[in-house]
Amino acid sequence: MEKTEMLKINKNCWDLVAPKFFGVDSLPKYGPFTVTEDEINLFDTIKHRKVLEIGCGSGHSLKYMEENGAQELWGIDLSSSQIEIAKATLKELKPRLFCAAMEDEIGIPKDHFDIVYSIYALGWTIDLSKTLELIYSYLKKDGSFIFSWEHPIYPYVKCESNSLILKGSYQKEGYEVWDSFKGENLPIVMPRRKLSTYINKLVEAGFKIEKVIEGEVSSEYDGQNEDFSSNYYSLYKTRIVPNTFIIKARK
Ligand SMILES: C[S@@+](CC[C@H](N)C(=O)[O-])C[C@H]1O[C@@H](n2cnc3c(N)ncnc32)[C@H](O)[C@@H]1O
């Protein structure tokens, strides 16, 4: 399938499911049950910084940036529904929001941003090399790129019959086409990549990698032990298999 066709399918689906992600994957959270920005401080200083979010969704992470003193708020998202929701979330502010694919050159300024970040959105890219090349170009020298995404091993470990079972192939990369997403009967294209692919593509794009975090559980859950659960996300499973990875890289 052509890249443009995959993006069209994903845009249609995200336009429909957007309300189901209202404030769901947003800073200070990096992912379900995972350590938060308050615990790991990857962003250093946000005050007076120019920031760009890739896959800004409902705008709640940009709101967090504003609350922490960012000087300029920029966001890109494929879904026009998400952009409308983000505008409402950020209505008192003056964000620059673009309905566009992260893979596309849309005139975002080069060498402009102190921080580019993405919370549970980068992995949707159909073209990781192009996306990272663009992100690198948007950053000032020494600027940082911080992102979180589902840990690539997580979907292959299933909780069934009181056991964790490995199903499918972590080694096999490519594009899965699902018939439905979030209970809606519209197809969506889910790229599958290994952790090493993210790391190697960052290096190829010119980034220096400063930190890789493999989904440690947040201290918020200290002392809580969850019994076996067959839910896709559970504290039980996350204590055994990381559900999120976070990378900080620098131009
Ligand atoms: C889980 S949401 C991110 C939520 C966001 N971090 C927040 O704070 O609301 C993933 C987002 O990625 C967007 N997305 C998916 N594919 C994209 C692409 N190719 N280019 C830009 N955005 C994309 C979706 O529309 C969706 O809003």
Q: The pTM is what?
A: 0.96
- Please say whether the beta carbons of 42 and 28 come within 8 A: no
Q: What pLDDT sits at residue 215? A: 86
Residues with CB under 6 A from ligand 1: 7, 10, 14, 21, 25-26, 55-58, 60-61, 76-79, 82, 101-103, 119-121, 124-125
What are the residues whose beta carbons fall under 8 Å from the beta carbon of 98, sequence distance 6 or more?
74, 75, 76, 77, 83, 106, 108
Q: Which tokens is 188 given? A: 């969506």
| Mean local confidence (pLDDT), 42-70 | 96
Q: What pLDDT sits at residue 226? A: 80
Q: How far apart are the first and last CA of the chain?
A: 33
Tens digit of pLDDT for each residue in 103-139? Answer: 999 999 999 999 999 999 999 999 999 999 999 999 9
In this model, does residue 169 exceed pLDDT 90? yes
From ligand 1's centre to the CA of 191, what distance in Å? 14
C-alpha dist (Å) from residue 35 to 29, 44, 93, 220: 7, 16, 28, 8
In this model, does residue 225 exceed pLDDT 80? no
Q: What pLDDT sits at residue 69? A: 95
Q: What pLDDT sits at residue 13? A: 97
Q: Report the atom number in ligand 1 closest to the C-alpha of 119.
A: 6
In this model, does residue 21 exceed pLDDT 90? no
CA-only gyration radius of the chain, Å: 18
In this model, does residue 38 exceed pLDDT 90? yes
Domain boundaries defined on the chain: 3-250
From ligand 1's centre to the CA of 121, what distance in Å? 5
Name the nearest CA neighbour of 217 among 232, 202, 239.
239
In this model, does residue 141 exceed pLDDT 90? yes
Report the range of poorest mean pLDDT among 101-115, 176-190, 195-209, 215-229. 215-229
- Please say whether the beta carbons of 160 and 230 come within 8 A: yes
Q: What pLDDT sits at residue 227? A: 85
Domain 3-250, CATH: 3.40.50.150
Q: What pLDDT sits at residue 198? A: 98
- Please say whether the beta carbons of 157 and 168 come within 8 A: no
Q: What pLDDT sits at residue 192? A: 97
Residue 161: pLDDT band by 50, 70, 90 thresholds? confident
| Mean local confidence (pLDDT), 192-203 | 98
Q: What pLDDT sits at residue 11? A: 98
- Atom 13, ligand 1: residue with shortest CA distance: 55
| Main-chain dihedrals φ then ψ at residue 216, nearest 5 degrees | -60, 145
From ligand 1's centre to the CA of 142, what distance in Å? 25
In this model, does residue 82 exceed pLDDT 90? yes
Q: Rounded mean pLDDT of the chain?
A: 95
d(CA 152, CA 170): 7
Percentage of the chain beyond pLDDT 90 is 90
- Atom 26, ligand 1: residue with shortest CA distance: 57
